[in-house]
Amino acid sequence: MKFIVSSSYLLKQLQLLGGVINNSNTLPILDNFLFELDQNKLIVSASDLETTMTSSLEVESEDKGSIAVPARLLLDTLKTFAEQPLTFVVEDNNTVEISANNGKYAVAYADGSEFPNSISLPNPSSTKIEGDILANAISKTIFAAGNDDLRPVMSGVFFQISSENITFVATDAHKLVKYQRDDVNATELAEFIMPKKPLNLLKGILLGSESEVLIEYNDSNAKFSFDNTELICRLIDGKYPNYEAVIPKENPNILSINRVQLLNSVKRVSIFSNKTTHQLRLKIAGAELNISAEDVDYSNKAEERLNCTYQGDDIQIGFNSRFLVEMLNSLTSDEVSLEMSLPNRAGILKPVDGLDPGEEITMLVMPVMLNN
């Protein structure tokens, strides 16, 4: 088995796939890339059993065969090469010899048949979405997903696909983000929960991409196909909480303010907040927003006043500053609105401008009890 491939082309594809491989695998074979050669087409796969990612590359060859090559060793070697053709030759002594312009390198390989078979999806439902739209939806929601192993359904992002739109939801019970696109839909209704790891991989690859992504799914797995790459992952099993029930509908008190100004103010004032609660106090009266924090144990306190546009009754409400910073950071709008009803009810943060047609973002943040 022999093939010739460009070093930088191979490195680029392997770096994308390398994100799938865990630092410590229970099965040693998972520390490898699977190379499946079929004449001038080389299919490379990486897997952690939950997620499998595959790329097909154009190579020069007339052979067929499959081997598993140590991923870390191969990546480290390829990173050091200038752009050049590399020749891979599988030798009889269980090594693959890589020939470059100025050297030869022998790497021990494993039998390709030991690598886990990739999952197939019989009769899946499907929908199509532009790569950049999907990456944007992931980055707007994934930070709000939880990390609690006891509540696995909340550790992923909920996809809700219907004939009208596609909705992405993430929550950890303290904050919730709902991202909706009316310009993407499917013929039939579907709901599934995607784990974080494959979503982070997709986000990294698809940001800024105009490629169309085909999403296929059934009850247990989802598959994302784009360009020359496929990602298949196991879905999180379970029923997602009824998120619509926790979004307050009546919010008469509405604050509008410059996003960057509010973000910087929250970051500064929160330095002086209690290191356990990260509590910030927002006091709104007239056209003035007063943001304050205090750490009684160390006698640290800070207070800032900002001009804002406000409709509603004077209100004092407490929030965890870390959640506000995460939410404001993930938005790109110039102006944001914060809608509130009572100091013990969730606040709703929305971008006022900068949205694409058919794009809607709702962020919900639970208040913290103020100690007067």
Query: Who contacts 247 (Cβ-Cβ below 8 Å, separation ≥6)?
Result: 176, 178, 346, 348, 362, 364
Predicted pLDDT at 155: 96
Predicted pLDDT at 371: 73
Predicted pLDDT at 372: 63
Predicted pLDDT at 312: 96
Task: Using the Cα atoms of residue 347, residue 352, residue 355 and residue 360 in order, give the sign of their dihedral.
Answer: positive
For the chain, state the CA radius of gyration.
Answer: 25
d(CA 16, CA 152): 26
Domain 125-244, classified CATH 3.10.150.10, yes or no: yes
What six digits make up the tokens of 71? 């991923």
d(CA 35, CA 43): 6
Q: Between the CA of residue 252 and those of 70, 99, 227, 286, 342, what are the distances in Å?
A: 60, 70, 47, 14, 9
Dihedral angle, C-alpha 307, 309, 313, 315, nearest 10 ° = -40
| Phi, psi dihedrals of residue 33, rounded to the nearest 5° | -90, 140
Candidates 3.40.225.10, 3.10.150.10, 3.40.50.720, 2.60.40.10; CATH matching 247-368: 3.10.150.10
Specify the pTM: 0.92
Predicted pLDDT at 230: 97
158-172 burial code (b ≥16 CB/10 A, e <16): bbbbeeebbbbbbbb
Nearest Cα to Cα of residue 178 among 205, 154, 157: 157
The whole-number mean pLDDT for each consecutive block of 10 residues of the chain, a chain of 372 residues, reads 97 96 93 97 97 97 96 96 96 94 95 92 91 96 94 96 95 96 88 97 95 95 96 96 94 97 98 95 96 94 97 96 96 96 96 93 94 68
> Where along the chain do the CATH 3.10.150.10 domains lie?
2-114, 125-244, 247-368
Angle at 303 between CA 298 and CA 306, to 5 degrees: 160
Domain 2-114, classified CATH 3.10.150.10, yes or no: yes
